[in-house]
Chains A and B, each alone.
Chain A
Amino acid sequence: MDTTALSDALRPFLSSWLRSDSNRLSFTAFIFFAFFITMVIYYWRMSLGEKPMPKLRRIPGLDALDESIGRATEMGRPIVFVPGMSGFSAPTYAALTIMGYVADQVARYDTRMIVCYRYPEVLAVGSSIVQTSYLEQGKRDAFRADDHRFLSSDQFGYASGVCGILQRERAASQHIFGSMAAEAIILAEVGNVVGAIQIAGQTGSLQQPYLFAACDYTLMVEELYVASAYLSQDRLRIGMLAAQDISKSVLIILIVIGAFLMTFGSNFIDRILTLY
């Protein structure tokens, strides 16, 4: 099929309102976005109704959160929580959602949780999340503001601070979530040395091997983003996840068809993608 003619026919119409550049992917991106937004709206509406939502695959790392909290409670030693190295970004939101879950449990069992922050704005939000958990349990006075510590905005200043806390407070478990960089191995090794049970989950894949080796449970890459839906089992969030999964499936199907067509010598899909 001749895609050049199609592309030429579309150009005058599209160029009046759609931005383009030398990559010629604008139209594809636009269609894909429109599809994604449609899916979001579809599942949003569905979550308001009664229909059953999709079920989620099991994620052992998230199931292990309770075990680590229980152990800290038994030993009477604190949990150290690291909500990632970035400011407000997607991984940090995911980490804060997990922290909300842990905070609920901690407030119920009167376990101590020390949270180390790299950015003051995350501290502001994080401490109010935990405080809310204590309020909901009716333990307003049990909340310890001093356990929410802003260490340093500097990457390794922060890492050395967390190490100091792990050693001085003899942590029973360490939770490392959010986006991590080179300091991941420092935190995980020091955690190992003090004998803490460690659960880690982060979005980058580069630090994953160290965490995989040194921690008891690891969430792999995208599993962190699922945490918000998985732990809350909230219909709306599961719906958003389903919308995302369907869009991803479309992409997978495109890749597979494209590869097969390529085998038979046609780059049709490729030309369709780069229409405008």
Chain B
Amino acid sequence: MEKKTIWHTMAAVDVRFLYIIIVIAIVIPLLNPIGLPLVFLDEVIDTVALMRSIPPGSLVYFGAECAAENSAELRPPAVAGARLMYELGHRIIIGGFWPDGCILVRQWLTPYFEEMGAVYGEDYVILGYRASVTSILDTARDNFILAFSDRDINGDRLSSMPVMAGLNKASDFAYCFVLSPGGPGTGTYTTAWRATGEVDLIIDVPTGSMYNSAGNNYQSGLTAGLIGGLNGGAQFEQLIGHPGEATRSMDAQSMGHFAIITFLVVGNIGYFQIRRMEEQEKEAIKSGGS
């Protein structure tokens, strides 16, 4: 008969118990943030410097590739990015190929644009969702307005808007700032515009899980900038001097991470304890039998 030790009890613990722990670990620091200092990564600092080096009046493509579920990670860098672009006097063209991308980015950015006094159609425009991303981006290499059927998200004519002045093809963009939770994402733009030499500077804003491959693209020079995950978003916010949602969430992020580490460690200690006991039992049976 198997002995019941604390390790056995812990191995058989109800998973719902773990769920409660992780909820507590996140909710408490959200309510009472301590504000631990951030470690700034070179890549984020360089990205901000790159954006600042682009002259005012330049056209910028803002890739609103996101869905509602990524809002926690992508809203902070999107807001901070749009703020910085507007402050630097860039003209922002927002397009997206996730069905909800443009709608969401519009919801996120409109309050900030209103606060800063940006005018729709003059300082920024939202193109709206289109199906079939590869063929549209390809058409846009030669004729941007035709590719988007000359219509913005509201169904108004793009060609009549002052913000579009001087935008004929994709190569007129100074850089692209692309949110990237998967595909379509940065990869889509690097294949369509970077690989064909239309746009040389692509700033990658991946979610945490895309960050792995994003690092490689950044190192190989495929992308020119990298702001990864909520952590990158928090650094970005602080670097441009508008700490916001991401900065506030970093303590909860820390606690959540440590809850996961604790699960990993405790789970493994329990596993080794049980295995050791089983081995001891086997040896005991062996020596008893012989």
Contacts and interface: CB of A to CB of B under 8 A. Distances in A.
A205 interface: yes
A182 B209 contact: yes
B191 interface: no
Contact of B213 (A23, A156, A182, A206): A206
A206 B209 contact: yes
A22 B200 contact: yes
A23 B197 contact: yes
B197 A205 contact: no
Interface string A188-221: 0000000000000000011100000000000000
A22 B69 contact: no
Contacts of B210: 206
Contacts of A205: 212-213
B196 to A, nearest CB: 5
A50 interface: no
B195 A23 contact: yes
Nearest to B199: A22
A23 B197 CA distance: 6
B182 interface: yes
A23 B191 CA distance: 12
B213 A21 contact: no
B16 to A, nearest CB: 12
Given A156-B69, A181-B182, A21 B209 contact: no
Interface in A205-244: 205-207
Nearest to A193: B15
Interface string B191-213: 00001111010000000011011
B100 to A, nearest CB: 10
A182 B208 CA distance: 11
Interface string B70-107: 00000000000000000000000000000000000000
B52 to A, nearest CB: 23
Contact of A206 (B195, B198, B200, B212): B212
Number of chain A interface residues as a range: under 10
Nearest to A22: B197
A23 B194 CA distance: 9
B188 to A, nearest CB: 13
A21 B197 CA distance: 5
Nearest to B221: A23
- Centre residue among B69, B200, B209, B210 by max chain A CB count within 10 A: B209
A207 B198 CA distance: 32
Contacts of A207: 209
A18 to B, nearest CB: 14
Nearest to B212: A206
Contacts of A23: 195, 197
A173 B196 CA distance: 45
A206 B182 CA distance: 10
A47 B149 CA distance: 49
B19 to A, nearest CB: 12
Contacts of A156: 69
A181 to B, nearest CB: 5
Given A205-B212, A206-B209, A206-B212, A21 B182 contact: no
A28 to B, nearest CB: 13
Nearest to A153: B99
Interface string A148-189: 000000001000000000000000000000000110000000
Given A156-B69, A181-B182, A21 B212 contact: no
A79 to B, nearest CB: 25
Contacts of B212: 205-206
Interface string A10-45: 000000000001110000000000000000000000
A123 B246 CA distance: 41
A181 B67 CA distance: 14
Contacts of A182: 182, 209
A206 B210 CA distance: 7
Contacts of B196: 21
Contacts of B69: 156
B32 to A, nearest CB: 30
Interface in B39-64: none
Contacts of B200: 22
Contacts of B195: 21, 23
B182 to A, nearest CB: 5
Interface of A: 21-23, 156, 181-182, 205-207
19 contacts: A21-B195, A21-B196, A21-B197, A21-B198, A22-B197, A22-B200, A23-B195, A23-B197, A156-B69, A181-B182, A182-B182, A182-B209, A205-B212, A205-B213, A206-B209, A206-B210, A206-B212, A206-B213, A207-B209
Across the A-B interface, the 8 shortest Cβ-Cβ residue pairs: A21-B197, A22-B197, A21-B196, A23-B197, A181-B182, A206-B209, A206-B212, A22-B200
